[in-house]
Amino acid sequence: MLRFIAGRLLRAALTIVMVVTFAFVVLRLSGDPALLILSVDAPPEAVAAFREAWGLDRPLWVQYFSYFGAILQGDLGQSMRDGRDAIDLVAERIPATLALTLPALALKVGIGIPAGVYAALHRNSATDRVVMVMAVAGFAVPSFVLGLLLVLVFAVQLGWLPSGGQDSWRHAILPVITLGIGGAAVLARFTRSAMLEVLGQPYIRTASAKGVSWRAVVRGHALPNAAIPTVTIVGFMVGSLIAGAVVVESVFSWPGVGRLLVVAVSNRDLAVVQCVLLLVAATMVTSNFIVDLLYGVLDPRLRTARGGGKG
């Protein structure tokens, strides 16, 4: 088990290094921050001074290694716009983002899983078809379209809810719904197929044949098995808590990490973009790691395969 955890940690670290490297290279190939921040009309001396100040005149590999050295010492760099620490800029935006993504996650799990289970238990019924049509629609409609639609209906036409901003909890309702519906749809489809797969297994028939009531068969025998694939999807959703709201934050002018990222990318504010990406990678990797550990809890077959014995 220790070997398993050590192996996973090593892979996690490698993944983060790759993400950071990729971001570093792409950002430096795709535009010159000096020209973007100072404008193209800036005098050449000013541009040269800016480049020197931020170390952009040095060879790429020197920049790369000094950047990595700084990360290892906990220094994630400064914003080129106002010189503040990138980590502070990002950190102060996290609560706003979580204020959207956490309720949205609750919405996804709270609607998606029960809907999927219900649809599977009433396979081919009218309810099942309705749930699945809604799931396909919820999955197929991009979040910016859905967001704009909701604004059109509930803000513009009905005037019930504000269309953007972050002044009260009412401002969060539309973005949370926009974020939640797509995920709930994905989760509903996934849970349904996981349940159908499990309900067709011989051990479900065995449980019925020994006199377990259908409710108890579903609760005690089907759900624990169907949870194994479903946890994967929920894990992805947990992993995207930080960066999953880029589009929705932009649509609803919500000052979270996503908006910060969009602005920082268009400004080539290198340190800020890299800081966000590092955070995103770390969250994703952490949640995947937790999912892996959860597999072991949920599925005894994996526990044995990992050398955990009869736990």
Partner 1 sequence: MDDPLVRISGLRVAFDGVPVLRGVDLAVGSGEAVGLVGESGCGKSVTWLAALGLLPGKAQVTGSVVLDGQELLGAPMPLLDRVRGGQIAMIFQDPASSLNPVHRIGRQVGEALRLHRGMDGAAARAETRRLLDQVGIPDAGNRMEAYPHELSGGQNQRVMIAMALAGRPRLLVADEPTTALDVTIQAQILDLLATLRAETGMALVLISHDLGVVAETCDRVAVMYAGLVIEEVSSARLFDAPAHPYTQGLLSALPPLDGLPRQHLAAIPGSVPEPRALPPGCAFGPRCPRRASLCDEQVPLLVDVAPGQRAACRILGADVPPAFGLAAA
Query: Which chain residues interact with partner 1 by CB under 8 A?
Result: 201-203, 205-214, 220-221, 224-225, 298-301, 304, 310
Minimum CB–partner distance for residue 199 and partner 1 (Å): 10
Q: How far apart are CA 222 and CA 267, in angstroms?
A: 51
Q: Of 3 and 210, which CB lies nearer to partner 1 in the complex structure? A: 210
User: Crossing angle for the helix pair 126-140 and 169-199, nearest 10 degrees?
Assistant: 130
From residue 78, how far is each of 71, 87, 160, 163, 246 by CA, in Å? Answer: 12, 8, 41, 33, 22
Q: Of 134 and 196, which CB lies nearer to partner 1 in the complex structure? A: 196
Minimum CB–partner distance for residue 219 and partner 1 (Å): 12
From residue 179, how far is each of 77, 103, 169, 195 by CA, in Å? Answer: 31, 9, 15, 25
Q: Of 189 and 303, which CB lies nearer to partner 1 in the complex structure? A: 303
Q: Of 158 and 215, which CB lies nearer to partner 1 in the complex structure? A: 215
Minimum CB–partner distance for residue 225 and partner 1 (Å): 6
Minimum CB–partner distance for residue 28 and partner 1 (Å): 49
Q: Which residues, 6+ apart, have CB-to-CB distance to 116 below 8 Å?
A: 131, 187, 188, 189, 190, 191, 192, 194, 195, 230
Minimum CB–partner distance for residue 182 and partner 1 (Å): 30
- Give percent helix, percent strand, percent coil of the chain, each to the nearest 5: 75, 0, 20
Q: Of 57 and 299, which CB lies nearer to partner 1 in the complex structure? A: 299
